[in-house]
Amino acid sequence: MTLFKRTALGAALMAGTMLSAPAVMAADLAIAMDQIFQRMDPHNTNYNVDYSGANGMLERLIGFDQNMQLVPQLATSWEGSDDALTFTFHLREGVKFHDGTDFNAAAVKANFDRLADQSQNLAKNSLFKVVESVDTPDDLTVVLHLKEPFGAMINTVAHPSVVIHSPKALEEFGKDVEKNPVGTGPFRFKEWVPGERMVVEKFDGYWDEGWPKVDSVTFYPVGESATRTSMLLSDEVQFVHILPAELAERVASNDAYEVLEVPGITVWTASMNMFKEHFKDPRVRRAFNLAVDQQAFIDVVYSGHGIVPDSAIAPDTRFYEKQTPLETDLEEARRLMKEAGYENGFDITIWGINNSTGVRMLQFLKQQLSQIKVNATIVPMEGATRSEKVFGANVVPEKVEYDMLMGGWSPSTGDADWHLRPVYATEGWIPKIYNAAFYSNEIVDGAIQDALNTADPEKRREAYSIAQKQIWEDAPVIWLAIENKMAARKKGLTGVFQMPDGTMQYSRAAFE
């Protein structure tokens, strides 16, 4: 596996004069995304595509580097109390929002209060449900006081959704801030034509001197993978976010372009709706897992660029613990189905995404389950349609139509909490978060809570170990793959890359 292939660039020739170092030229950057944007309000979305588009405009107190290690952004330092009840952030001085207003402790408080206010019904309110109050002892200090210990708070503040909007914009636009983002980033919002393009432009008042180094960035939503790749190779775009593995060789064989690949932390699953009678039986859930050849799934969907899951969370997620692998065993799967009274199978519907990779996933799963006489109707959906049907405010768990939901979850905090809790805790039932199986187990809920009640890493590890073991035994989902994150870019473009959680960074984009 090649990690972040890099190319040495020669010195630049400009106007016939040899320069001693590459010249950095202002330019316009174009990026092809695999989905349409839903909302430019990260507080109120669950989609990586939205976080990726917004992160050049809206910054956080704490960010991640390309290895998911915490780095300062709008906060210069931070600390938490031993009892995990109080967290203090020291802010960067001299920062302005794009509307000319000051970034300060009051601005942070306005955003943290919004996230903590559960009545807002924002997609990411659950991240801050433990916040009791937000204090601002001075203009450059913010203190979070929690209702109960929450050992994952620092990593939670670093989640891509925990951005700082201009309070003036929040007041002026309300929820329509999702169409009018105003932040502190190197780029400011220019225009958004839904389904066609979004454009951001250089912000001359950016706090980090010397940045940005490009004049504008235009994002094009292109669901068809081959089309995105063709746009790159014809220089219509200079970066492809989400490069399907089967097209990587096509890009790598062209000397003008490069493939970027990093191990991912997104676990792809097919959640089994436990309100459906057949999935209430653990023998059926285990049979579904044993019927699917996960390595074949990785080979077919990702051309081998990934690994088979051996826990509910990925190896590079904090507090991961390996479980006994589930190996394909059709004979045992058929025996379990017969024992459960389903020797002749049954009919199900599987919902998924309608891009090239998503359709391939659905088709593969349909074929695999047919081996145990399960007749699957696959339903590929456009992103916005899927979002409304799965996460819409009117969704009632007991009345959800699908039998299975294909999807991936990445803990963009880098911590086990933000994978196990939203996907497997009872509190995470959709539409609230992402427990699409409507799985509920008191042991799991208790272990997840125990892990949050302490800031001691070893105690947290012990609790998450219990949760992972129980989830693996109950098998509420089919664990399918942890794919490597792949992207492609034109050589000479730097500072734009894919993150292990599936988001993308472009704040430090530059052409050399």
Q: Quickly count: other Cβ atoms within 10 Å of residue 380's Cβ.
A: 18
Q: Is the pLDDT of residue 362 over 90?
A: yes
Average pLDDT over residues 128-155: 96
Q: Using 50, 70 and 90 to split pLDDT, how confident is the model at 9?
A: very low
* Residues 232/222, Cβ–Cβ less than 8 Å: no
Residue 15 has what pLDDT? 32
Please give the pLDDT value at position 393.
Answer: 79
Q: Is the pLDDT confidence value at 16 over 50?
A: no
CB atoms within 10 A of CB 433: 22
Secondary structure element (H or E) that encloses residue 71, with its range? strand 70-72
Q: Are residues 199 and 79 in the same domain?
A: no
DSSP per position, 89-156: EEEPSS-B-TTSPBPSHHHHHHHHHHHH-GGG--TTGGGGTTEEEEEEEETTEEEEEESS--TTHHHH
pLDDT at 384: 81
Is residue 254 within 8 A of residue 49, CB to CB? The reply is: no
237 and 196 in one domain? yes
pLDDT at 383: 81
The tens digit of pLDDT for each residue in 319-349 reads 999 999 999 999 999 999 999 999 999 999 9
Query: pLDDT band for position 14 (50/70/90)?
Result: very low
At residue 8, does pLDDT exceed 80?
A: no
pLDDT(2) > 50: no
Per-residue pLDDT reduced to its tens digit, 163-199 = 999 999 999 999 999 999 999 999 999 999 999 999 9
Q: How many whole angstroms separate alpha carbon 64 and alpha carbon 303?
A: 28
Q: Same domain for 284 and 368?
A: yes
Give the end of a domain, one of 180, 204, 219.
Answer: 180
Given a cut of 60, is residue 256 above it in pLDDT? yes
Q: How far is CA 14 from the centre of its chain?
A: 41
What CATH number is given to the structural domain containing 491? 3.40.190.10
> For position 365, what pLDDT does the model report?
98
Say whether both 7 and 75 belong to one domain.
no
In sequence order, what E strands does 256-390 have?
Answer: 257-262, 267-272, 306-307, 347-353, 375-381
The pLDDT > 90 percentage for the chain reads: 84
In this structure, of 317-331, 341-355, 380-394, the range with the lowest mean pLDDT score is 380-394
Overall number of domains in the chain:
3
Reply yes or no on whether the pLDDT at 19 is more than 80.
no
Give the per-residue pLDDT at 26.
Answer: 62
Tell me, what CATH number does 317's domain have? 3.10.105.10
Q: Range of 18's domain?
A: 1-34+186-262+485-512
Q: How far apart are CA 58 and CA 183, in angstroms?
A: 4
Q: Which two tokens stand for residue 512?
A: 């050399």
